[in-house]
Every structure is written in C-alpha cells, then in structure tokens.
Amino acid sequence: MDHVQIIWEFVKEWYWIPLTLINTTAFITILVENGKPEKTIAWLMVIVFLPFFGVGLYYFFGQKFQKEKYFKKLDNRYKVKLEERWNDLKPFISNEIKLTETYDDHLNDVFEYLAHTQTSIPTSNNSVELLINGEEKFALLLEDLKKAKHHIHIEYYIFDEDEIGSQILAILIDKAKQGIEVRLIIDDFGSSPFAKRKAYYENLGIQFEIFLPVRFSSLANSNYRNHRKIIIIDGFIGYVGGINVSDKYINPNKFNLYWRDTAIRIHGDATKMLQAQFWLHWQSISANSFTLNYNYLPEMQTVFEKKLPMTFAFSSPGNTPPYVMESMILSISAAQKSIQLCTPYFIPTDSFKTALLIAVSKGVAVSLMLPSKGDSSVVQAASLSFLKPFMERGMNVFLYEKGFMHAKTICIDGLLSYIGTTNLDSRSFLINFELSAVVLDENIAQQLTEQFEKDTLVSKFFTADLWKNEKWYYKAFASICRLLAPLL
C-alpha cells in the first residue's frame, strides 16, 4: 500500500508533464499539417478542453491518414480510364450540352463544368420519376428488382435487415439462384449489424463487400463514410436519393416518426455513370473484379420522345476540388429567380455560405427547409447558429415539424434540380463519398417546388427575432457547437 500511495502522490504532483508533452506534440502535428484555419482551430479547442480524450479523438479521426492518399490514387486511376475514351466522347458531350441550352443557357454551365473536370458525362435520353418518401420508392423498387435479367448492383450507407430489407434480400437471393449477378456494397459504419452477416449471404450467392471495415486498429475508417445510395438494374434502371434501406423511411412506421425524404428512379443513359462509379468502388475493395463491358453498359433500346438532360456530381475524400459543392455553388450563382433547399443538416463551408448570401442579396428568393428537431442535438444547434445572417438578408427559413426532414434537394429557378445524398454540411462536401443527380427538367423541378410548398404548411417559419428570443443558454450551446462545425 505504501508503494501505491507513493506512486499516487507522484502522479498527482507531476501528471502535467506527460499531459503537456502529449498536447504539445498534438499541437505541433496539427499546425504542421497546414490544414484549413477553421478546422485547425476546432481541433486545438477539442484538445484544450478535453485533455487526453481530445488527443485520442484527433489521432483517430483528425489526421490525414494514408486512406486519403489511397482514395486520391483511386480517383486518379478512374480519371485515367475515362481519359482513354474522353476524346472519343467529346462530340457526344458537346451535343448533349447543346441540348441543355434549349431550356435556358444560364443554368447549363454546371453540365460544362462537370464534363470539363471529367467528373460526369451529360446525357439526355432519360426518363426520371420523382419519388417522395420510402413508400413511393420501395413499391417501384421491389417490382424492378423482380424483373432483373442480368445483374443487380447495390451500394448503400444503411441497409437494415428489417421488413423492407428482408423483402429486398429475398429477391436478391432468388435472383442469385437464377444465375443473375448480384453485387452488394454496404458501409461498415452505417450498416454494422448487417455487415456481420456477410458470410451468410455470400453462401446464398450474393457477392457481398464491406466498404472500409471499421476495426479497433482502423477506427479512423469510420470518419470516411460511404454515404451514397445507389441501385443499378441491368444497366438501364437506376435509383439515387436520400432514402436508405430501412423501415423507418416508410410511412407510417413503428417508430412513430414521419420520415420526409426524396429519391429518383432513372431509366436511361444516365445510369451508365452510376454503373461506372459502382465499378470503381467494387474494384477498390473486392478480389472478385468484373470487366465494365457492354453487359453492364448496354445500348438503350428506348429512345424517349422528350429529352431530359441530366448528369451527376460525385465527391470523395480523394477529390480535389470537391465537385459536388462547387457544382452547387456554380448553379446557385447562376440563379435568377428562386432557390429552394432541403437538408437535415446546414453547416455550410465559407464558399457555400457566400454564394447563398450573394444570391439573397441580388434579389433571388431563397428558401431553406430544415427539421424542427434534429437527430443530433449538437448538429442541430450548430445548424441553427448559422441562420441569422441569412435571415437578416431575407432568406426564408422553415423548420419542418411533421417529422424528420431528411431530403437532400435543391431546386433552382423552377428548372434545375439536385437530388441525391449530399447534406449541406462540411462532412458531405469534403469527407464523405456522396453523389447528387443534376436534372434539367421543368416537370421534375415543378414537382419539387410543389412538394416544398406542401411541406411549408407543416413547418414553422423561423425568423431572426425568434432566434434572438431563444434562451441564452441554448444560444451559448449553439455557439460552442458552431466552433466545432468543421469537425461535425
């Protein structure tokens, strides 16, 4: 006991020495990285206010690990493969971009930007259905899956083995038994329980891969989330949007929470770009590679009478610049009449914030819809803390009260729409694997506008005065959360 007492007394008196050394080392490491000032300051604050624990968080989640270099190599490899055919595609791309000018040429710059950066090829031989909430999406999806003849490719952030998940899996198992190729990628952070069943489903014929498995030795992988939701059927049909595979996305549900979300069903040439992205991820994580031939990129037999120009913006930790964010900024800057945004989280980067403020100041009617009650008190408080300057300039802010607003959409001038997985926050813009479909179609935009107006009827109009009258301690809490915004 005497020895224990002596050690305890020594630790009490001299604990500050190792703490100082650890903190100093972390401080120097953060500064040497020369990261963005706001992110650097945020990590320094975490370490100061959470001794030892904050340092652990930083070394696990804050550093630029080798994974980022790996992702960059993958992106570069993908670009090389695209460049092999890009010159051949230039006449096609040029013709497709010209088709966007039949609408209004002030919004077609985003197609040129994404094509010039070799991010995505624009296509116009497409048909798109807007799907509101899981009840609309899954009814169509189950029928499309049953009709699959060659392959089914699925890449999802959250895939639950609940009622809807089990229905989908039953179809996948049946299709695999028929000899149809079924490939499934799930994110280990978002679908941890399902990931543990990998061997079981492989034995049933499903080719199953886990994106960045999270283990104690690789906890940093959880910071890189594959947030995409992609389904490709026979190279003709594609689904993208914010709706994960889970019963809670279908209304009504046992969770007694109305879930407001948006997705699209694509029939057409645009599905080829989804296929290419799925193939890139599959090649990077699977030993069972496949060749991206005409079986996966088939010629469309249907020629749609009405042309529907669309493309995609993709982002990943390896992307420089962040193409989803920059494409959105480009479109917001071109807006002349209106911008409607839906997102569960609003933690904008400085450049995105500036683009929105300029749009409001030049007279564009900008409206933003957020959930009234978020699924994270820290992120919700941080989101609200950003709103004051926007509201003071004239932005309309609505807090959705019927349930949880999870849609990730932007509608510009009643013509151009973004529908995808990208939240309007730093994580989606700079860290996660994300995608947004970019659709230039008046009908789709009109449907989004009508849905936005319906949602305002079950929302609270939020003003600068309401924020001013909020309880002081909540605003103080929000201010602290805002300082951590670069890390959320």
DSSP code per residue over 320-353: SS-HHHHHHHHHHHH-SSEEEEE-S-EE--HHHH
Q: Are residues 132 and 102 in the same domain?
A: no
Tokens of 198: 């990998």
Tokens of 199: 């061997």
Q: Are residues 360 and 474 in the same domain?
A: yes
> Above 90 in pLDDT, residue 454?
yes
How many domains, the chain?
3
> Above 60 in pLDDT, residue 38?
no
Other residues' Cβ atoms within 10 Å of the Cβ of residue 471 = 8
Question: Sign of the CA dihedral 64, 66, 72, 75?
Answer: negative
84-93, 326-335, 395-404: lowest mean pLDDT where? 84-93
Other residues' Cβ atoms within 10 Å of the Cβ of residue 347 = 26
**Boundary residue ending a domain (306, 335, 357):** 306
Q: Which amino acid is at 303?
A: V
* CA–CA distance, 155 with 153 (Å, rounded to integer): 7
Q: Are residues 103 and 156 in the same domain?
A: no
Half-sphere exposure of 331 (CA within 13 A, CB side): 31
Q: How far are the Cα atoms of 9, 32, 378 from residue 348, in angstroms, in the given order?
A: 48, 25, 15
Query: What confidence score (pLDDT) does residue 280 get?
Result: 85
**Boundary residue ending a domain (242, 273, 306):** 306
Q: How far are the Cα atoms of 205, 276, 332 from residue 110, in angstroms, in the given order?
A: 41, 20, 10
Query: Which residue intervals of 59-162 are DSSP H helices?
Result: 66-100, 109-116, 133-146
CA of residue 196 relative to chain centroid, distance: 24
Tokens of 354: 């500036």
Which of 85-94, 207-216, 388-397, 477-486: highest mean pLDDT? 388-397
Quick one: residue 184, left, alpha or beta (phi over 0 = left, psi -120 to 50 = alpha)? beta
DSSP label at residue 433: B
> Above 90 in pLDDT, residue 210?
yes
Tokens of 57: 């968080």
Q: Which amino acid is at 140?
A: L
> Above 50 in pLDDT, residue 216?
no
pLDDT digits (tens, 9 = 90+) for 241-264: 999 999 999 999 999 999 999 999
> Above 50 in pLDDT, residue 46?
yes
**Boundary residue ending a domain (280, 306, 332):** 306
* Spatial strand order in the sheet of 230-233: 126-132, 262-268, 237-241, 230-233, 151-156, 181-187, 207-211
Q: Are residues 450 and 391 in the same domain?
A: yes
Q: Are residues 335 and 276 in the same domain?
A: no
Q: Are residues 104 and 195 in the same domain?
A: no
Tokens of 242: 């914010």
CA of residue 112 relative to chain centroid, distance: 22
Beta-bridged to residue 208, according to DSSP, are 184
**CB of 331 closer than 8 Å to CB of 107:** yes
Q: What is the tally of helices (H) and strands (E) in the chain?
A: 19, 19
For residue 294, the domain's CATH number is: 3.30.870.10
pTM of the model: 0.85
3-17, 128-142, 251-265, 438-452: lowest mean pLDDT where? 3-17
Active site residues: 227, 229, 234, 406, 408, 413
Query: Which residue intervals of 188-314 are DSSP H helices?
Result: 192-195, 198-203, 271-285
- Tokens 């193409």: give the residue: 323
Q: Are residues 131 and 21 in the same domain?
A: no
Q: How many residues does the chain have?
A: 488
> Above 80 in pLDDT, residue 446?
yes
Query: What confidence score (pLDDT) does residue 72 get?
Result: 62
* CA–CA distance, 376 with 135 (Å, rounded to integer): 25
* CA–CA distance, 208 with 54 (Å, rounded to integer): 36
Q: Which amino acid is at 315?
A: S
Q: Are residues 189 and 233 in the same domain?
A: yes
* CA–CA distance, 263 with 261 (Å, rounded to integer): 7
> Above 70 in pLDDT, residue 62?
no
* CA–CA distance, 108 with 106 (Å, rounded to integer): 6
pLDDT digits (tens, 9 = 90+) for 148-179: 999 999 999 999 999 999 999 999 999 999 99
Percent of the chain with pLDDT over 70: 76
* CA–CA distance, 434 with 420 (Å, rounded to integer): 8
Q: Are residues 189 and 259 in the same domain?
A: yes
Higher pLDDT, 165 or 477: 165
Asked if omega into 122 is within 30° of 0 (cis), the reply is no
Q: Which amino acid is at 440?
A: L
Q: Are residues 299 and 421 in the same domain?
A: no
* Structural domain boundaries enclosing 33: 1-63
Q: Are residues 261 and 332 in the same domain?
A: no
Q: Are residues 247 and 280 in the same domain?
A: yes
